[in-house]
Amino acid sequence: MMKRSPALAASALLFLSSHALAGEAEIKAAADAAARTIMQQHDVPGLAIAVTRNGDRDVFNYGVAARDSGLPVTDDTIFEVGSVSKTFTAALGGVAMHKGLMKPGDPAGAFLPWLGDGALARTPVMNLATYTAGGLPLQFPDGVTDDASMHAWFAGWKPTSAPGDSRQYSNPSIGLYGATVAAAMDGDFAELMQREIILPLELRSTFTRVPDERMDDYAWGLNRNGRQVRVNPGALDTQAYGIKTTASDLALFLEAQMDDGSLDGGLAQTHRPQFRIGPMLQAYGWEIYEDPADLDALLAGNSTDMAMKPQDARPLEAEPTLSHALYNKTGSTAGFGAYAAFLPDRQAGIAILANRSYPNADRIRAAHAILRAMGAID
């Protein structure tokens, strides 16, 4: 369970007081302004913004779910959330650890014998979950086209640094973590996600694969060439970027993150920071900022360099006390852009979903402005 200072209760009371001053109209005005700016500057067809405060949820919808049909974005519109999916994978791992089926220091090879005697077989699963396995790349190479080629690539992969020395943001890394979790739980990853995360949290519009009866609610994304697209299948895609959900469901997921008892405490495991990476702390899936008011730190931590270049990783000697922290994750696919953030001590969160990818910096600025209007950021 994450450590919180004795000032937490007082901080929460302060938020309740400030929230009384932050009325619905002010919050909606901030959301409207953010949506207008994003949609105009980046030619975004549709957008949904969900905010949650002390368990009360509001959703603001803008534009269309598909440019060719002109159907409006509604509370039922399903968006791809890209790498925000990694926090769902982390959640499943937290459940596995809480059940005693795996530990952070367990080597990946203990669960995946096909890793053979390669470097990854000896790598602790915690390093896979935090992108610190030793330089796994952002994406799989083109030659990885099926399970056999994926297994061979992982088994033969050679690190460029020791586990824990550097962070290289990586879909294969979190994907392999998801594979170890599924093996530890002796099941199919998508089925486990449904059984252990989606159903218990009552996420009724959250899917690894959108069912036929909900396809009319599934938005079409717009890629950089202006073509309507949806995500293509790929190696370990469900684990790394495969979740599709509504803004309201994602806000409900954030509410669960702010309840230390959620999933019998399984989610709390994912909030434990493992490394200091520049301006942020890297936890399981989530990235943590100790001063939510520091917009420059948020922008730096969600920059292109953080995603594309190796960063020095400093292991934490002791778990820090997080009295007023912001947890966040960005996500994109070819046609969608997402952002999710929550502040446990203020019991406040925000999800911004769009059917076009656009720069992370503008997602951060929009969320920051809305959280300020909510009174969640001083």
- Each residue's pLDDT, cut to its tens digit, for the chain (378 residues) gives 333 434 444 444 454 444 444 588 999 999 999 999 999 999 999 999 999 999 999 999 999 999 999 999 999 999 999 999 999 999 999 999 999 999 999 999 999 999 999 999 999 999 999 999 999 999 999 999 999 999 999 999 999 999 999 999 999 999 999 999 999 999 999 999 999 999 999 999 999 999 999 999 999 999 999 999 999 999 999 999 999 999 999 999 999 999 988 999 999 999 999 999 999 999 999 999 999 999 999 999 999 999 999 999 999 988 898 989 999 999 999 999 999 999 999 999 999 999 999 999 999 999 999 999 999 999
Distances (CA, A) of 141 to 59, 126, 138, 176, 305: 39, 23, 9, 15, 20
Residue 227 lies in a domain: yes
- Torsion angle (degrees, nearest 10) of CA 297, 298, 304, 308: 80
Q: Looking at residue 248, what DSSP letter applies?
A: H
- Asked whether the beta carbons of 343 and 326 are under 8 A apart, the reply is yes
Nearest-angstrom CA–CA distance, 233 and 377: 38
3-state helix, strand, coil in the chain (%, to 5): 40, 20, 40
CATH number at residue 240: 3.40.710.10
Residue 178 lies in a domain: no
Nearest-angstrom CA–CA distance, 349 and 84: 14
Number of domains present in the structure of the chain: 1
Q: Which helix (H) or strand (E) holds 182?
A: helix 171-184
List, by residue number, the catalytic residues: 83, 169
Model's pTM, two decimal places? 0.94
- Asked whether the beta carbons of 125 and 174 are under 8 A apart, the reply is no
Residue 92 lies in a domain: yes
The sign of the dihedral angle between the CA atoms of 128, 280, 332, 202 is positive
- CA angle 289-14-266, nearest 5°? 50
- Going by C-alpha positions, the residue among 149, 156, 131 that lies closest to residue 240 is 131
**How much is the pLDDT for 260?**
84
Residue 171 lies in a domain: no
**How much is the pLDDT for 22?**
55
For 79-104, the pLDDT digits (tens) are 999 999 999 999 999 999 999 999 99
Residue 213 lies in a domain: yes
Residue 220 lies in a domain: yes
For 169-188, the pLDDT digits (tens) are 999 999 999 999 999 999 99
- Asked whether the beta carbons of 74 and 59 are under 8 A apart, the reply is no
Residue 163 lies in a domain: no
Identify the domain containing residue 343 by its residue range: 8-100+208-374
**How much is the pLDDT for 366?**
99
For 264-273, the pLDDT digits (tens) are 999 999 999 9
Provide the 10 A C-beta neighbour count for residue 16: 14
Nearest-angstrom CA–CA distance, 153 and 290: 37
**How much is the pLDDT for 4?**
40
Residue 318 lies in a domain: yes
